[in-house]
Amino acid sequence: MGFSSALQGRAAHEALIVRQDAELRLMETMKRSIQLKAKCDREYAIGLAAVAQQGMKTDRADEMQGSLITKAWRSYMDELDHQAKQFKSNAELLEVVCEKLTHLSQDKRKARKAYQEEHAKIAARLNHLTDEVVRKKAEYQKHLEGYKALRTRFEEHYIKSGRGGRKLDDVRDKYQKACRKLHLTHNEYVLSITEAVEVEKDFRTVLLPGLLEHQQSVQESFILLWKNILQETSQHGDLTSDKFKEIQKRIDNVINSINPSEEYREFTEKHKTSPTTPLVFQFDDALIEDIPGKLQSNTLTVDNLTVDWLRTRLIDLEMSVKECQEKQLKMIEHANGGSPIANGSIARNGSTASNGIQSPKDSQNRQSKDLNALRCQEKQKQKLVDMIKCALNEIGCEELPSGCDDHLEQNFIENSFNNDQQNSATSTNSTGVSIINELRRRGGVLTLLRGRPFKRKSTPQPTTPTVNRMRTQRFNKLQPRSQSLGSLSMSLSTNRPLYEEEWFHGVLPREEVVRLLNNDGDFLVRETIRNEESQIVLSVCWNGHKHFIVQTTVDGHFRFEGPPFPSIQELIMHQYQSELPVTVKSGAILRRAICRERWELSNDDVVLLEKIGRGNFGDVYKAKLKSTKQDVAVKTCRMTLPDEQKRKFLQEGRILKQYDHPNIVKLIGICVQKQPIMIVMELVPGGSLLNYLRKNSNSLTTRQQMGMCRDAAAGMRYLESKNCIHRDLAARNCLVDFENSVKISDFGMSREEEEYIVSDGMKQIPVKWTAPEALNFGKYTSLCDVWSYGILMWEIFSKGDTPYSGMSNSRARERIDAGYRMPTPENTPPEMYRLMLKCWCAEAEARPHFDEIYNVVDALIIRLDNSH
């Protein structure tokens, strides 16, 4: 069954036109997808080439000479580079496929137009004859009625007047004329019917079937070309093709060529050495030459100064010996098939039995190595145990030995307490004796001093004017990553507040801070609020991102782990100049101060004038910038909001700062130096579009409303090109500038990605403005914004009415899913309402993109202007 016999009806013809339109839309969708695929392949090729380039960078390659691993790795990287080139080639070929698809789409449009014109032409011929038959029939009826009337009149006169008379002659003439017209009309009617019968027959049996048969052939030829394009697309993305298989095969071959027993042969021959010479450890007798008493080289000294320490050390060493013995026993039991719980000792000594890559021989070797290590460790500890026991046994008892050096002990005590007791110089001998007695009662000097921290005197660093000047100059030369903000002024005598420092970023959230710190040593200072308490934090990039809270001492100084300083500026200067880690555990060193970005404004530069609205996070004010006297709009963030909400608040500023379009509200900056956090934007004098529509409903013209729709489409077209999904497009979130110009605003829900899946529930979702797929599946794309744009158009032409008025959110959602669409607002041009309906297509792919929407609205405005 083909087109010629099955699609002759009018409904079938219209369905064929609709099918062609759908195929054209599918071609456009395919073209966009293939273009995106080509882009992805190109980017992947670049990334893969970078991987290969990075992989070829091996430090001191000569040290790996003869290594099969190195050879395999280099070959692997070479093949990755070949893969990158293949992906790049595929991307280029996909672009050629896109061009073919574009030409196919153009040809298909021409073919559809030619079919419509030819169908209309042959149908017009039949329609014309059909109309002619109807007209002739009506004319026939008219003349027939006239003929009958005149014949009746003639007969009446003929009967009355007999066979003569002038009046009878006139009636006879009229009757004959009517008879002649009737016969002529009869003939014309018969001829028109005959012609119509032939035309209809030709239309039905020849012309229309021929047209449809030709159209089927055209359609099928397009499908064949389309199929070839799809096959080309598939081939250019086929990772199982011979080219990729060959690359993978070469990678596998070179990896399989690695032989562990051959890996170090050349290395061993090159670096072959004689056995190591034993290291000799000897006690340096020079250390005790000038010390009186019983200190002897290589001999433990046992007296009241050391006996407690030796006993404690003996206990610790005996426990270590016992632990080594237990581990050895468990390892032997495990090796002999004993309890598997002994695995813990093996694991603690570095066994990799769980990684699944070692052979039984490797496992046995490792167990033997670990067992030998434990035995050596036991022998070492036991040697120390024996030495201490021997020394303690020589005194014959566990009491303090006689003959201790009392003056040495007293001097040690006095020196130890001199830092804490300033009157040590006047301490009497009796005091010294009482301290000694207390020490003896408690068990020696170390027992008393064990709990006291040892205060090491810090060695002052050289602080010559030249050194200080050089360090300060080096610190002042630090520049921010994004732009030059001048020298970073800092001196040890500065009295200016912390928030005036260029490297202090105020209450900038941690997420924003992490974005600014990119290289090891990058740092900045910020403020955070925890448990309603303000804390100053040093954020540093060092093997990741680390955040250090500045500690405050009792006397109001500031420190980390090192010495305290009177100001945070001096503390940061010290950490930078000394090049010491902020903390020993982190190892983080300050190398480069990151200054505020140009759009981070000072809170003091913004003067709030009057409240003009309220947002989700706080109030909106009209304000003025001190520096430029410019009027601005300021969104504030409530101080009591959690950090997560503040992060979402600043997200709008982060998105807006990179956009520049006349129909997108412009960001001037953000203020994070103090609370409250503020977003500073251009002041749009007309205010909210929704309020403007309602306030000026009586004066708005259709031309102005269409202009508003065009402005909104222009702004959204720009956002779509930036892969930005607004997610909350509505009249309330648009602003009106001079001459009714509309600007898109309120990017609090926006996302910079082609597709966004909601993962935090559907809270605060504007249901009546949101596309069905977003409500039902949480899936947002730019085509969801197209649905919202359709609602925005409805708001504009209804002059600020509420969508789905009288319906709850749930009811509106049910009706929309069932196919309901709002009726056209009064005085809306039909073309604009048709565009609304297209924006509200249930299938997202069937909706127009903003580029198409803008072109349609712009063309309608031009046509409207020309008509006037």
**SS3 per residue for 728-772:** CCCHHHEEECHHHCEEECCCCCCEECCEEECCCCCCCCCHHHCCH
Decide the pairing of beta strands 667-671 and 600-601: parallel
Q: Per-residue pLDDT for 265 more than 70?
A: yes
3-state helix, strand, coil in the chain (%, to 5): 60, 10, 30
Distances (CA, A) of 125 to 9, 112, 188: 17, 20, 18
Specify whether 714 is located in the same domain as 589: no
Q: Which residue has the higher pLDDT, 451 or 866?
A: 866
Q: Give me the phi and psi of 524, to 5 degrees please.
A: -155, 170
State the Cα–Cα distance between residues 303 and 294, nearest whole angstrom.
10
Tell me the whole-structure pTM to 2 decimals.
0.41
Whole-number pLDDT of residue 9 = 84
Place of tokens 């048709």: 834
- Which among 81, 711, 728, 746 is annotated as catalytic? 728
Distance CA 267, CA 265 (A): 5
Residue 614's DSSP bridge partners are: 619
Between CA 805 and CA 152 the distance in angstroms is 71
* Structure tokens that stand for 205 in this block: 């049996």
Helix (H) or strand (E) holding 350: none
- Three-class secondary structure of residue 555 per DSSP: coil
The answer to whether 566 touches 553, Cβ cutoff 8 Å, is no
pLDDT tens digits, 33-44: 999 999 999 999
Are 664 and 709 part of one and the same domain? no
DSSP character for 206? I
Active site residue 728: yes
The arithmetic mean of pLDDT across residues 53-81, rounded, is: 81
Q: Give the Å distances, CA to CA, from 379 to 370, 373, 385.
A: 14, 10, 10
User: DSSP state, 844?
Assistant: G
585 has binding-site annotation? no
Is residue 277 pLDDT above 60, yes or no? yes
What's the chain's average pLDDT? Answer: 79
Res. 243: pLDDT tops 80: yes
Please give the helix or strand (H or E) that residue 667 lies within, else none.
strand 667-671
Give the CATH number, domain containing residue 631: 3.30.200.20
Residue 32, domain CATH:
1.20.1270.60
Looking at residue 495, what is its pLDDT?
64
Q: Looking at residue 584, which CATH number applies to its domain?
A: 3.30.505.10
Encode pLDDT of 195-214 as tens digits: 889 888 888 888 888 888 88
Q: How confident is the model at residue 689 (pLDDT cuts 50, 70, 90)?
A: very high
Same domain, 651 and 733: no
Domain for residue 249, yes or no?
no
Residue-level pLDDT at 162: 61
CA angle 180, 184, 188 (to 5 degrees): 170
Contact by Cβ (8 Å): 825, 798: yes
551 in the same domain as 634: no
Can you read off the two tokens belonging to residue 116?
Answer: 């419509």
Residue 164: the pLDDT is 66
Q: Which two tokens stand for residue 602?
A: 């000072």
Q: What is the pLDDT of residues 485-495, one digit of tens each?
A: 333 444 434 56
- Give the model confidence (pLDDT) of 725-737 as tens digits: 888 899 998 999 9
pLDDT in tens, 289-298: 777 556 777 7
Residue 802 has pLDDT above 60, yes or no: yes
Parent domain of 668: 601-682
The region, left, alpha or beta by phi > 0 then psi within -120 to 50, assigned to residue 193 is alpha
Assess whether 814 and 698 both reside in one domain.
yes
Classify residue 35: in a domain, yes or no: yes
Is 273 within a domain? no
In terms of Cβ atoms closer than 10 Å to its own Cβ (0-12, 13-18, 19+), residue 610 is: exposed
pLDDT tops 50 at residue 354: no
Burial of 25 (0-12, 13-18, 19+ CB in 10 A): middle
Query: Does the pLDDT of residue 823 top 80, yes or no?
Result: yes
Are 653 and 511 a contacting pair, CB within 8 Å?
A: no
Contact 769, 793 (CB under 8 A): no
> Can you tell me whether residue 139 is helix, strand or coil?
helix
* Together in a domain, 128 and 211: yes
Give the C-alpha separation, 541 to 588, whole Å.
8
- How is the beta sheet containing 545-549 ordered, strand by strand? 545-549, 533-541, 522-530, 592-593
pLDDT over 80 (residue 452): no
Give residues with Cβ within 8 angstroms of 699, minimum separation 6: none
Helix-helix angle 307-335:360-393, to 10 degrees = 150
* Per-residue pLDDT, 468: 42
Give the amino acid at 414: E
559 backbone dihedrals φ, ψ, rounded to 5°: -160, 170
Per-residue pLDDT, 488: 43
When pLDDT is averaged across residues 781-788 and rounded to a whole number, the result is 93
Indicate if the pLDDT at residue 63 is higher than 80: no
Mean pLDDT value of segment 784-805: 95
Q: What is the pLDDT of residue 60?
A: 59
Q: Which of 236, 265, 289 is the last residue of a domain?
A: 236
Calpha distance 242→248 (Å, rounded): 10
**For 764-789, what is the mean pLDDT?**
89
Looking at the predicted structure, is the pLDDT value of residue 861 above 90?
Answer: yes
Please determine, for residue 622, whether its predicted confidence score (pLDDT) is greater than 70: yes
Residue 545: inside a domain: yes
Reading phi first (left if > 0) and then psi (alpha if -120 to 50, else beta), residue 608 is in: beta
In the chain, the number of structural domains is: 5
Which comes out higher in pLDDT, residue 4 or 850? 850
pLDDT band at 417 (very low <50, low <70, confident <90, very high): very low
Q: pLDDT value at position 291?
A: 72
Contacts 24+ apart (CB under 8 A), 209-214: 209/4, 209/5, 209/8, 210/4, 211/115, 211/118, 211/119, 211/122, 212/2, 212/3, 212/4, 212/7, 212/8, 213/2, 213/3, 213/4
Answer yes or no: do 550 and 609 share one domain.
Answer: no
Going by the DSSP 8-state scheme, the letter that residue 618 receives in this structure is S
Residues 189 and 125 in one domain: yes
> For residue range 311-350, what is the model confidence (pLDDT) as tens digits?
888 899 999 989 988 888 888 877 766 544 334 443 444 4
Out of 249-263, 532-546, 672-686, 829-843, the most confident range is 829-843
Residue range 529-568, pLDDT digits in tens: 766 677 899 999 999 999 999 988 888 899 998 899 999 9
Calculate ∠ Cα 191-196-201, nearest 5°: 130
Angle (CA) 554-557-560 rounded to 5° is 100
The verdict on residue 51 lying in a domain is yes
Cα separation, 380 vs 285, whole angstroms: 24
Q: Would you say residue 636 lies in a domain?
A: yes
The closest alpha carbon to 793, from 689, 721, 720, 662, belongs to: 689
**Choice between 101 and 341, residue whose per-residue pLDDT is larger:** 101
Do 716 and 837 lie in a common domain?
yes
pLDDT of residue 492: 39
End of a domain among 538, 562, 594? 594
Tell me if 460 is assigned to some domain: no
Residue 169: the pLDDT is: 83
Q: Taking residues 138-154, what's their average pLDDT?
A: 90
Peptide bond into 676 cis (omega under 30): yes
Q: Which residues contact 663 (CB under 8 A, 6 or more apart)?
A: 711, 712, 714, 715, 718, 741, 742, 743, 744
pLDDT of residue 98: 92
- Return the DSSP state at 598: T
Q: What is the pLDDT of residue 2?
A: 80
Q: How confident is the model at residue 286 (pLDDT cuts 50, 70, 90)?
A: confident
pLDDT in the model for residue 59: 61
Instruction: Tell me how far apart the terminal alpha carbons of the chain are, to the nearest angstrom.
Output: 52
751 shares a domain with 620 = no
- % the chain with pLDDT above 70: 80
Task: Report the DSSP beta bridge partners of residue 734.
Answer: 744
Q: Is 361 left (phi over 0), alpha (psi -120 to 50) or beta?
A: alpha
Tell me if 340 is assigned to some domain: yes
% of residues, the chain, pLDDT over 90: 33
- Residue 608 per-residue DSSP state: E
Choose the weakest-confidence range: 123-132, 482-491, 688-697: 482-491
Report the SS3 class of residue 144: helix
Cα–Cα distance list, 10 to 14, 18, 109, 126, 557 (Å) = 6, 13, 21, 14, 91
Task: Say if residue 39 is in the same domain as residue 172.
Answer: yes
Which residues sit opposite 540 in a β-bridge?
523, 546
Predicted confidence (pLDDT) per residue in 432-443, tens digit: 333 334 333 333
pLDDT at 447 over 50: no
Largest CA distance in the chain: 187
Least confident of 165-174, 348-357, 742-751, 754-763: 348-357
The last residue of a domain, from among 682, 702, 728: 682
How far is residue 560's CA from residue 548's CA, in Å, rounded to a whole number? 8
Instruction: Say how far apart CA 427 and CA 423 lie, in whole Å.
Output: 7
Cβ atoms of 781 and 754 closer than 8 Å: yes
Q: CA gyration radius for the chain?
A: 47
Q: What angle do CA 574, 577, 580 make, to 5 degrees?
A: 75
Q: Which residue has the higher pLDDT, 57 or 448?
A: 57
Asked whether the predicted pLDDT for residue 503 surpasses 80, the reply is yes
One domain, residues 206 and 337: no
